[in-house]
Structure 1
Amino acid sequence: MLGTAPDVVADAVENQCEQERLGRQLNKLSGREKWVLEMRFGMPGGAKKTQRDIAKLLGISRSYVSRIEKRAINKLGKHMSAEEP
């Protein structure tokens, strides 16, 4: 069991680095895009919400929430691939 401790620590450090990287990229999104993703995926440490729940909170259609979410995820993907060495 002692041989697994370095692996656990390495995994924890890698996970923390990925979360910090994601946080930097989320800050590049518009306020609404960032808020929708945070609500959808329960970040940081909150409860996940459905597109319908978010639509009610914002007073918009569920399909519009879906479009905002899709656009934000696409932007995140582009920003994160551009950041990789």
Structure 2
Amino acid sequence: MIDILGTDPEVVADMVENAFEKNRLLEKVHKLSRREKKVLEMRFGLGTSARKTQREIARALGISRSYVSRIEKRALNKLTKDFNVEGCQ
């Protein structure tokens, strides 16, 4: 693959690793509640949406910015816990 692309081997390895990690993250995101998933997709630009601020997400979902913050924190804690459990196996 490196020979075909004519790129630095480290760049190709980083691209492959990033794609793998993104796929792992997207698999885990599907385990979240619908609202948690939506907030993370909007907040971090996962999938097709662009990155948004908590204030923009709050307006779009009709909730307070502080509630968006709590949802985001809860979802990230779930993902962190899931990745930690996976790493221990």
Whether the TM-score (by the shorter chain) exceeds 0.5 is: yes
Distance in 2 (alpha carbons) for counterparts of 1:32 and 1:63: 14
Match of 1:41 in 2: 44
Which deviations, in whole Å up to 9, do the C-alpha atoms of 1:43-78 show, x marking residues without a partner?
Answer: 125321111111111111111111000000100100
Gaps of 5+ in 1: none
Percent identity over the alignment? Answer: 63
Match of 1:53 in 2: 56
TM-score normalized by the length of structure 1 = 0.86
Gaps of 5+ in 2: none
Q: Which amino acid aligns with 1:52?
A: R
Distance in 2 (alpha carbons) for counterparts of 1:57 and 1:30: 18
| Structure with more relative contact order (C-alpha pairs < 8 Å, separation 6 or more) | 1
Q: Which secondary structure does the structure 2 equivalent of 1:39 belong to?
A: helix
Q: Which amino acid aligns with 1:42?
A: G
Runs of 4+ displaced beyond 6 Å: none
Which deviations, in whole Å up to 9, do the C-alpha atoms of 1:7-61 show, x marking residues without a partner?
Answer: 2221111111101110111011101001100101111253211111111111111
Q: Say whether 1:24 aligns with 2:27.
A: yes
Aligned residues: 83
